[in-house]
Amino acid sequence: MSMLDGKVAIVTGAGGGIGREIALAMALAGAKVVVNDIGASLTGIGEQSATPGEQTKAIIEQRGGKAVTNTDSVADWESAKRIVASAIEAFGRVDIVVNNAGILRDQIFHKMTPEEWRAVIDVHLNGSFYVSRAAAEHFRAQSSGAYVHMTSTSGLVGNFGQANYSAAKLGIAALSKSIALDMQRFGVRSNCIAPFAWSRMTSSIPAETPEQKERVEKLKRMTPEKNAPLAVFLASDAAKDVTGQIFAARNNELFLFSQPRPVRSAHRSEGWTPELIAEHAMPALRAQFMPLDRSPDVFSWDPV
């Protein structure tokens, strides 16, 4: 038997890139797949089209799998419920939710507009909540289910010009942990993947200087399908004891991320004043300050 035989998976943003590869891999692993994609541009602006999702569905069916398409937006509660309903109507159940849909509205912080902020939060963070929440009642009733959420090192570590995206992606990590805690009693698991891949979501990275061009060439080696095996595993019963974790897939490397915990403390029995904090606490804590780094600083070696 394949790892996902008998299971039904919803993959949002499955019309291309990482989402498409995850949908294809889950179908090959035996799952019936709801291919959700609104068919919009990378920014979420412009005419929508069913074509990307239909293309993914066609590939799945050519390979002997089963799939249906859905073009509802994740960024609205009512339409998110329709995404989940499409799985129930087509296949009678839902076992897996992959929250992959996303858009970009990159902008340096002091120029970012409220609309650019809200658009990204709505799709990434609110969308992950809406689809997860819509599936939660089914997961609870059947005492099983698996969530796989896409986070990003832009949020886990940091990046320039992505306050909206970074905040949403770090929020998704906290959402996943909360789901894992609240739904563990029902046999439901929730984990995150920080994917590395060259796709529409990374194609806007500047490539003007020799250093930037070199970085882009390295990124191009990390094709979207490299993230799919981890997603299939996390969705399968083989991962029944894996929940509340944050992983990353980078070409042929897999990483487990730490999560924020206290790293150092300072104490005064008589309490603190602002002056004492400046004189005592900060010098004591400073050695453990986190650097103001970005994802390329942390992942400074070439993809393996």
Catalytic residue IDs: 165
**Torsional class of 66: left (φ above 0), alpha (ψ -120 to 50), beta (otherwise):** beta
Q: Which residues partner with 32 through β-bridges? A: 8
The three-state secondary structure class of 35 is: strand
Helices 127-142/163-183 angle, 10° precision: 10
Upper half-sphere CA count for residue 126 (Cβ side, 13 Å): 17
CB atoms within 10 A of CB 245: 18
DSSP 182: H
Quick check: 216 and 205 in contact, CB under 8 A?
Answer: yes
Residue 148 CA: distances (Å) to CA of 40, 43, 44, 104, 236: 23, 23, 22, 20, 11
Q: What is the dihedral of CA 292, 295, 299, 304, to 10 degrees?
A: 180
Intra-chain end-to-end CA distance of the chain, in Å:
31
Helix 51-62 to helix 17-28 angle, to the nearest 10 degrees? 30
Residues 6+ apart with CB under 8 A from 295: 153, 154, 157, 158, 159
Instruction: Of 258, 176, 191, 259, give the one whose Cα is nearest residue 227.
Output: 191
Q: Which of these, 59, 4, 15, 62, lies nearest to 199 by C-alpha position?
A: 15
